[in-house]
Structure 1
Amino acid sequence: MKKMIPTEVLKEQAALAALKFVKNGDTIGLGTGSTVKYAIDGLGNNLKNGTLSDIKAISTSLSSEARAKDNKIPTTSFDETVKLDVYIDGADEVDQALRLIKGGGGALLREKIVAQNSALKIIIVDASKLSERVGEKWHLPVEVFPLALGAELNFLKSLDAVARVRTDDKGEPFITDNGNFIIDANFGRIHKARKMAKMLDARAGIAGHGLFIDLCDILIVAYPNGVMHIRKGEKETFKNLLDSVSPAQTF
């Protein structure tokens, strides 16, 4: 019988595995989401017990910043720091080329800004986030300026996406930390991700989108038999792991 491991346990395992890449004196980019929270707590514990010192962090959301402050992690900004040493974040979906879909937590624009300005980009996931090609399991979040909401919704639909404006738990439009809206666009498998990214980047009404290409140096995957590190180009390793993991192995 295959092991059954709660997803939250796997998320924590992946997050804690990323901490070994953080050194004393590093400036760290902190992502947003249900996996990264374990990394933030782990950094706080390492500061508290003295195994880590002199770090600073830039957070990608107000919620991550609050968690960092709760853990006594000193914060900084791009006004004070030009380049980050390490960026740690999760992903909603990742494929064998280490292309990502991000933005389930609504912080995609800030996450991309921080990722692009980090020397080492580490993505932490449990095995349920793996797919052969992005778009297979997750819609593509697109952050749009309020003025352009209707125009960009129609544009995405013209590309044959099933698109809707994201709402909060009260049924109201979800507002990002930047004051923008998010359209969740379901394209199915995205076969030309780089072309899609360029097309979305060219739209004036789109503030950012959740396609992250060339923004993952190390993928850390927690699965029922352990934790695996995958670097770009290791497609066979990725494929073997994807083939070996059944959705029924987590709950």
Structure 2
Amino acid sequence: MTTAPELVKQAKQAVGKQAAQWVESGMVVGLGTGSTAAFMIQFLGERLQRGELQQVRGIPTSFQAMVLARQAGIPLTTLDEVSEIDLAIDGADEVDPQKNLIKGGGAAHTREKIVDGLAKEFIVVVDGSKLVAHLGSTFPVPVEVLPLAIVPVMRALEQLGGEPEIRMAVKKDGPVITDQGNMVVDVKFAEIPDPASLEMHINNIPGVLENGLFVGLAGRVLVGEVTDGQPQVRVW
């Protein structure tokens, strides 16, 4: 009998596969970070290897995405070398009914916001557990902070009504360090009635590089769900 975790994995695979179908030859594609985006990168590489696509170039949003793209045989480029990004495909930790997001579970939200924000279209790929009624329901807001400013930034986040906590590494001692060499503070808010305002106020704190609130950026949302024991993809 197929277990629940295996069904969730199959739903993520189905979303990743469908998202890869949105890519067309000649596109510059933002390659997202996370488990569902990883499946998209895998399937996009397979399309390239089969010859279904030509002249596709990827811009990774993290070291993880870069490694996966190279393994999949996807040619990579940089923001310095392209004039525009046609499509970005990335995951999310929470999605509210207005398609606002919390991202940053993989500590890559700064690069993700740059790439996803520059793309002509941003497709979000998630499983059904990431849909929430209100942002902050299940996931804190990640904030990338310059190490020298960590204490004053945490004080300022408390003044905004948050409960900040430095993200610590799981399989090594010490804090999580981003690809940019900074620290991550996860901030729990009792409620986030105005995500756009909170995003702006957090980013105005000196020492903050970027936060994980993505407001008004998402286009299509592809949701992987399990219905009657079978993985399904809902396009929203």
Class of the TM-score when normalised by the shorter of the 2 chains: over 0.9
Structure 1 residue 202 corresponds to structure 2 residue 204: yes
Give 1:123 deviation, angstroms.
Answer: 0.2
Measure, in 1, the Cα distance between the counterparts of 2:94 and 2:174. Answer: 26
Structure 1 residue 91 corresponds to structure 2 residue 92: yes
What residue number does 1:110 align with?
111
Measure, in 2, the Cα distance between the counterparts of 1:8 and 1:171. Answer: 30
User: Contact conserved, 2:102 with 2:135, CA < 8 A, in 1?
Assistant: yes
Measure, in 1, the Cα distance between the counterparts of 2:186 and 2:173. Answer: 15
Per-residue displacement from partner, 1:129-187 (whole Å, max 9, x unpaired)? Answer: 00011101111000011111111111112223221100112231110000100000010
Runs of 4+ in 1 over 6 A off after TM superposition: none
Per-residue displacement from partner, 1:19-39 (whole Å, max 9, x unpaired)? Answer: 221101100000111111100
What residue number does 1:243 align with?
none
What residue number does 1:182 align with?
184
Structure 1 residue 212 corresponds to structure 2 residue 218: no
Give 1:63 deviation, angstroms.
Answer: 1.2
Measure, in 1, the Cα distance between the counterparts of 2:11 and 2:159. Answer: 39
Measure, in 2, the Cα distance between the counterparts of 1:6 and 1:15. Answer: 14
Measure, in 1, the Cα distance between the counterparts of 2:142 and 2:83. Answer: 28
Answer with 15-24 or 5-14: which moved more: 5-14
Measure, in 1, the Cα distance between the counterparts of 2:225 and 2:53. Answer: 27
Measure, in 2, the Cα distance between the counterparts of 1:34 and 1:197. Answer: 25
User: Contact conserved, 1:139 with 1:188, CA < 8 A, in 2?
Assistant: no
Structure 1 residue 228 corresponds to structure 2 residue 234: yes
What residue number does 2:144 align with?
143
Per-residue displacement from partner, 1:77-102 (whole Å, max 9, x unpaired)? Answer: 01111210110000000000000000
SS in 1 for 2:139: coil
User: Contact conserved, 1:91 with 1:100, CA < 8 A, in 2?
Assistant: yes
What residue number does 1:233 align with?
none
User: Contact conserved, 2:7 with 2:226, CA < 8 A, in 1?
Assistant: no
Measure, in 2, the Cα distance between the counterparts of 1:159 and 1:112. Answer: 22
Measure, in 2, the Cα distance between the counterparts of 1:131 and 1:219. Answer: 13
User: Contact conserved, 1:142 with 1:183, CA < 8 A, in 2?
Assistant: yes
Please report the TM-score for the alignment, with normalisation by the length of structure 1: 0.88
Q: Which runs of 5+ in 2 are unaligned?
A: none
Measure, in 2, the Cα distance between the counterparts of 1:171 and 1:139. Answer: 22
User: Contact conserved, 2:157 with 2:202, CA < 8 A, in 1?
Assistant: no
- Number of aligned pairs? 228
Measure, in 2, the Cα distance between the counterparts of 1:203 and 1:77. Answer: 29
| Amino-acid identity (%) | 36
CA RMSD, Structure 1 to Structure 2 (Å): 1.3
SS in 2 for 1:6: helix
Measure, in 2, the Cα distance between the counterparts of 1:153 and 1:219. Answer: 33
Give 1:18 deviation, angstroms.
Answer: 0.9
SS in 2 for 1:21: coil
Answer with 18-27 or 151-160: which moved more: 151-160
SS in 2 for 1:58: strand
1:1-251 correspondence runs (5 A): 6-169=7-170, 170-225=172-227, 226-230=232-236
